[in-house]
Amino acid sequence: MEPLRRPRRLVAGDRVAVVAPSGPFPPEDLEAGMAVLRSWGLEPEAMPHALERHAALSYLAGGDRERAEDFQAAWSDPAYAAVISARGGYGTQRMLDLVDWSAMAPAEPKPYIGFSDATALHEAIALRLGVSTLHGPMPAWRKFIANAESQEHLRRTLFEPELTQKLTPASARTLVPGQASGVTFGGCISLLAAGIGTAESRLNVEGGILLLEEIEEAGYRLDRYLTQMRRAGWFDGVRGIALGSWVDCGPYEEIRATLLDRLGDLGVPVVEDFGFGHCIPSLTIPLGLKATLDADAGTLQFDTPALYLPLSILHLNPCRASCLPLAIPARMVRRGHNRPGDVTHRLPTPYRLEPRRRRRVTGNLLEVPLLPLPRRKGPG
């Protein structure tokens, strides 16, 4: 597995599209969550069909085609800097084949945030668009509305992702010792298992760091999903596993025994209770990026921040530029704009590009750390 393209980080004033690809929710819950986003300086907007309900199926938020149209419009519209699912439930898989992924491909990558049923969208965006995403809490989820810690971790990941580049949840424990590096992917076990045999089925997970969590699935059902995935060769090549929460799945001793039985003999490090999923608080974790899992220490360290820092944001926040990596679209490099003098005039004046030998190309970005220019001595 190779790292995917990273979207840019958000800034105050960005418009964010809220979509409902899964189940319905009370409008007041969405409004409460959007109020949190507004408090960060964002401008969230519910897409046209977000508050609808399916005419015949009460567990769906609107018709399949309408939900697909909302998602495609939100991703394709450059006016929106990010797309976030309002809540989970069920229904995302029903709309995936109604999305015109080829029409969405030319759009600039943008952060997509969600979890639970959104696992299906994480997989689709990764495999069809090659863009990294964020496995994190959603605005109409009541546990997000009520938990300041979950809110703050998502906010930092969106605005200051270098602060969440290393995840060290206090609850993390070693299930199988060891360390491994790879590209993160995963989500809800039931959605990953349901994707086998579809266009979103993973054919090769060689070099992957797998994230797994679930809600309201008894131990024998988890066993069934994991056994299906094992028989399909789905775990072949996985380098490490981080296990999140198992809310309402039954006694954890039984769940732990099932996980150890189905995953413990894969020969890879496994860390449990890593603090993501349907728990409180819930971490936001990038999917599709290179990271190192240390099951002994209970940490997940990403090689790069989840979202890159474009030149336009440097103009908005020059005072922070010296400690953050600069991301330049690789197309500038291909056109020959690869010397410090070619781009320095676009940087805030107190900073210069670091020497060329320390640059690094990641995906479609040239990452160049900045260094402060030496201060000139005054007269005398």
In this structure, the answer to whether residues 334 and 353 fall within a common structural domain is: yes
In this structure, the answer to whether residues 191 and 228 fall within a common structural domain is: yes
Distance, in Å, from the CA atom of 302 to the CA atom of 213, rounded to the nearest integer, reads 20
Residue 213 bears catalytic tag: yes
Residue 278 bears catalytic tag: yes
State residue 125's pLDDT score. 99
Q: How do residues 227-283 score in pLDDT, each as one tens digit? A: 999 999 999 999 999 999 999 999 999 999 999 999 999 999 999 999 999 999 999
Residue of 135, 278, 282, 367 with catalytic role? 278
Assigned domain for 95 exists: yes
In this structure, the answer to whether residues 148 and 25 fall within a common structural domain is: yes
In this structure, the answer to whether residues 150 and 172 fall within a common structural domain is: no
Q: How many residues does the chain have?
A: 380
pLDDT surpassing 50 at residue 350: no
In this structure, the answer to whether residues 319 and 228 fall within a common structural domain is: no
pLDDT surpassing 80 at residue 176: yes
207: domain CATH number is 3.50.30.60
In this structure, the answer to whether residues 242 and 219 fall within a common structural domain is: yes
Assigned domain for 221 exists: yes
State residue 133's pLDDT score. 99
Buried b (16+ CB within 10 A) or exposed e, 341-363: eebeeebbeebebeeeeebeebb
pLDDT surpassing 90 at residue 24: yes
Asked if residue 3 lies in contact with residue 71, where contact means CB atoms within 8 angstroms, the answer is no
Buried b (16+ CB within 10 A) or exposed e, 76-98: beeebbbbbbbbbbbbbbbbbee
In this structure, the answer to whether residues 45 and 123 fall within a common structural domain is: yes
Residue 54 bears catalytic tag: no
219-231 and 252-263 helices cross at what angle (nearest 10)? 10
The DSSP letter of residue 128 is I
Assigned domain for 217 exists: yes
In this structure, the answer to whether residues 184 and 157 fall within a common structural domain is: no
pLDDT surpassing 60 at residue 343: no
In this structure, the answer to whether residues 113 and 20 fall within a common structural domain is: yes
Instruction: Provide the β-strand partners of residue 176.
Output: 270
Give 58's contacts (C-beta < 8 A, 6+ positions apart): 24
136: domain CATH number is 3.40.50.10740
Assigned domain for 3 exists: no
Q: How do residues 95-105 score in pLDDT, each as one tens digit? A: 999 999 999 99
In this structure, the answer to whether residues 315 and 255 fall within a common structural domain is: no
Tell me the Cα Rg of the chain: 21
In this structure, the answer to whether residues 40 and 66 fall within a common structural domain is: yes
Helix (H, G, I), strand (E, B) or coil at 280: coil
Assigned domain for 7 exists: no
Mean pLDDT computed over 103-129? 98
Within the chain, what is the greatest distance between any pair of CA atoms? 82
State residue 219's pLDDT score. 97
> Which of 205, 115, 153, 158 shows the shortest CA–CA distance to 6?
158
User: Which has more confidence, 340 or 58?
Assistant: 58
**Domains of the chain: total:** 3
Query: Which of 119, 136, 163 represents a domain boundary (last residue)?
Result: 163
Assigned domain for 8 exists: no
Mean pLDDT computed over 148-156? 98
Assigned domain for 1 exists: no
Query: Which of 302, 325, 354 represents a domain boundary (last residue)?
Result: 302
- Entry pTM: 0.84
Distance, in Å, from the CA atom of 126 to the CA atom of 248, rounded to the nearest integer, reads 29
Strand 82-85's sheet: what is its strand order?
43-46, 15-19, 82-85, 112-114, 133-135, 285-287
Q: How do residues 27-70 score in pLDDT, each as one tens digit? A: 999 999 999 999 999 999 999 999 999 999 999 999 999 999 99
Asked if residue 56 lies in contact with residue 87, where contact means CB atoms within 8 angstroms, the answer is no
Assigned domain for 194 exists: yes
pLDDT averaged over every residue in the chain: 87
Query: Which of 267, 302, 337 represents a domain boundary (last residue)?
Result: 302
In this structure, the answer to whether residues 27 and 141 fall within a common structural domain is: yes
Residue of 213, 214, 272, 367 with catalytic role? 213
Residue of 85, 116, 132, 190 with catalytic role? 116
State the residue range of the domain holding 323: 311-372
Q: What percent of the chain has pLDDT over 70?
A: 82
